[in-house]
Each structure stands twice: as C-alpha cells, then as structure tokens.
Amino acid sequence: MSDKLQKVLANAGFGSRREMETWIEGGRVSVNGKLSTLGDRVEADDKIRVDGNLITSGEQKVFCRVLMYNKPEGELCSRKDPEGRATVFDRLPTIQNGRWIAVGRLDLNTSGLLLFTNDGDLANRLMHPKHEVEREYAVRVFGDVQPEMLKKLQKGVKLDDGVAKFTSIRKLPSDEESLNSWYHVTLSEGRNREVRRMWESQGLQVSRLIRVRYGALELVKRLPQGGWLELPLADINALRASVQLPPEKETLIKLEQGKLDHVKLSRMRRSVKKHRVAQANKHKPATKAVAGKATSGKVSRASSETRSPKKSSGSAQRPARKSTSRD
C-alpha cells in the first residue's frame, strides 16, 4: 500500500508534513534516484533519500516516542541559538531514527509542560487548531481583575491576529490585599503569546505563566525544571486517540522507566544542575580574561608600591650611615 511521501517522512521523525512539503519543493528529497515532487506516493520497498542520505526506516521499525519536558524560564524553543543561549533541545536524549520535534512552543519567559515526539504526524495534529487540543496554564496576573474582564475573556477579545477566548477561567485562593492573583485558564489553540496578549487586552499584566496540561497529559509535579520523562505506551496512545491516530502496540521503554523514584529524581537534579553550570561557564572566559588583566594590573601596581617604600627607606638610611662614619 502506498503512502504520500511527506507523510512517510513525517512519520520517520524528520518534521511536520508541512515542513516536509517544503523539503520536497526545495529538491532535497529523491525516490529511487529521481527528484520527488509534491503529490508523489511511495511503496515500502522504495529507496528514499534526504539530502543524498538513504532513509533506513524500512530496515528498522520506528516506534512513536513522546517526551514530557519541564521547561524553565530563560530557554528558547529553537534547536540552536546564534548567541549561544540555552535551548529546550540541549538536554534531550539522543535519538537514532529521525529527530525530536517540539509540540508547540513556549516563549522565553514561560515555563512548564512541553512535549516532544519523533512522530511528525502526531506533532502536526496536536498543534493543528482543527483538533482543538486543550491547553491549561497557571497564570499570575498583576492588577485589579474585575468580573467584567473575566466575562470578556471567556466571551472573546479581539487581538491583532483575530478573536481569542478562554474556554474556562478558575481563580485560585490568594491574599485579598495582594496585587497579584493566580488563575488557571484553558484554551484550545496556541497562537504566539496568546495568553499574555489576552490579559494585556484588559489592561492587566502577566507576571508568571506556567503550562500545566496539554490535552489529557498533566505536568508531573515532581519533575524538576530542566528534567524530562519518556511517556509510557498508555499515555502515548491517549494522545494519539485525541487526534484520531491509531494506537501504537510497541514501545522502547519499560513501565518502570516512566516512574520518578528518589534515585531517579536525585540523578536528574544533579544532571540539570551540571548542565546549568556548564551553560553559565560558556560566557565566563571573556570575563576571566578581563579579570586576569585587572588582577595583573593590581599586582604590578602593588609591586611598584612595595618597591617604592624600599627606595625611600634606603634614602633615609644613607644619612644615618654618613653620620656614623663621622662619629
């Protein structure tokens, strides 16, 4: 049975179907030695090459894998950063077939649940608005929140890129005198900075934003920031069912691997801390060099200062020697 070429590439973990279409249009993909075009279909025994490299998916079965990552603030949702800043891909495990694809994005100052998968079709469906996969956020809002504002946010507010609304808003208990209030909000799409812009439309400011749920998956509370877990088969199939994909029957991980015991938590925290230290040290060499110059300057000045008193003491002793000779 033949499948569309972009679907085969997406299922192999190279990216979303839309991204694979651009690869095909760009002449990066060939089938049986001929450059492919949009609309091509392939059989299981066809030889597919990307940038001249043969895809070996037919020789080795590719399992659908999903990671749950607890993103800290300050990390970029991109594979590489020209400025050398930390990205959400830095600490992910290596993968033999395909690559990790981020399911949606979180902006630099947003933390919480971020999913990764090697299944391009699953990633594309989870992100597509037509599937209306619900996202839940914990939001700390600065300002005086009035009931009329909450009604508007649930009814719909007009943003630069269209109307947006929360499907639910739940206020959490807080100090009545505090200017900050915590809410849990849900929505069924993921536009750029959508949650922040919606609150800003009411003259309010979001001072903290954490994604706590994506679809039926809730962020594991014990998972430290910067840590990841590979999801078991049951959770993967719950995600697949939510976007009308058939269930997987096999997985690469054991049931025990998805559990967070004390040993695994300690190992994970040490690994995260080690990565943060290494990331911080990337920007230190130049500082050390400047500090070294400053230190050497101080040493030279100090040495000159210590030498000058000797000269003065020597000049002070000469008259004494002369007076002694006179005696």
The pLDDT of residue 61 is: 64
CA–CA dist 208, 57 (Å, integer): 43
> Domain 3-54 falls in which CATH fold?
3.10.290
pLDDT band at residue 284 under the 50/70/90 scheme: low
pLDDT value for 243:
95
Both structure tokens of 288: 């050390």
Q: Is residue 305's pLDDT more than 70?
A: no
Residues 99 and 14 sit within 8 Å (Cβ to Cβ): yes
Q: Is the pLDDT of residue 51 over 80?
A: yes
CB count within 10 Å of CB 147 equals: 7
Confidence of residue 286 (pLDDT cuts 50, 70, 90): low
pLDDT in tens, 148-202: 999 999 999 999 999 999 999 999 988 777 889 999 999 999 899 999 999 999 9
Catalytic residue among 3, 107, 144, 261: 107
Instruction: Name the band, by pLDDT with cuts 50, 70 and 90, for residue 258.
Output: low
**Three-state SS string across 53-89, please?**
EECCCCCCCCCCCEEEEEECCCCECCCCCCCCCCECC
Per-residue confidence at 11, pLDDT binned at 50, 70, 90? Answer: confident
Residue 308 has pLDDT above 80, yes or no: no
Q: Is the pLDDT of residue 311 over 60?
A: no
Residue 180 CA to residue 174 CA, distance in Å, equals: 8
259 φ, ψ (degrees, to nearest 5): -95, 145
Beta-bridge mates of residue 163: 158
Angle between helices 233-242 and 120-127 (to 10 degrees): 50
Return the structure tokens found at 12. Answer: 């192999």
pLDDT of residue 290: 47
Kindly tell me if the per-residue pLDDT of 304 is higher than 70: no
**pLDDT band for position 292 (cuts 50, 70, 90):** low
Burial class of residue 5 (count of CB atoms within 10 Å of its CB; 0-12, 13-18, 19+): buried
For 144-161, give the DSSP string.
Answer: ---HHHHHHHHH-EEETT
Is 4 or 253 the better-scoring residue by pLDDT? 4
Integer-rounded Cα radius of gyration of the chain: 30
Dump strand ranges (E) for 111-223: 111-117, 135-142, 157-159, 162-164, 168-171, 180-187, 205-214, 217-218
**How many percent of the chain have pLDDT more than 70?**
80
66-278 fold: Pseudouridine synthase (3.30.2350)
Tokens read off for 3: 């499948």
* Residue-averaged pLDDT of the chain: 83
300 in helix, strand or coil? helix
The residue extents of the domains of the chain are: 3-54, 66-278
Specify the amino acid at residue 80: K
Q: What stretches of 233-284 show up as alpha helix (H) in DSSP?
A: 233-242, 262-281
CA dihedral 83, 84, 85, 90 (to 10 degrees): 150
d(CA 289, CA 300): 16
Q: Could you confirm whether 107 is annotated as catalytic?
A: yes
3-54 and 66-278 share one fold: no
Residue 318, both tokens:
């000469």
Please give the pLDDT value at position 280. 73
20 and 9 Cβ atoms separated by less than 8 Å: yes
pLDDT tens-digit map of 102-124? 999 999 999 999 999 999 889 99
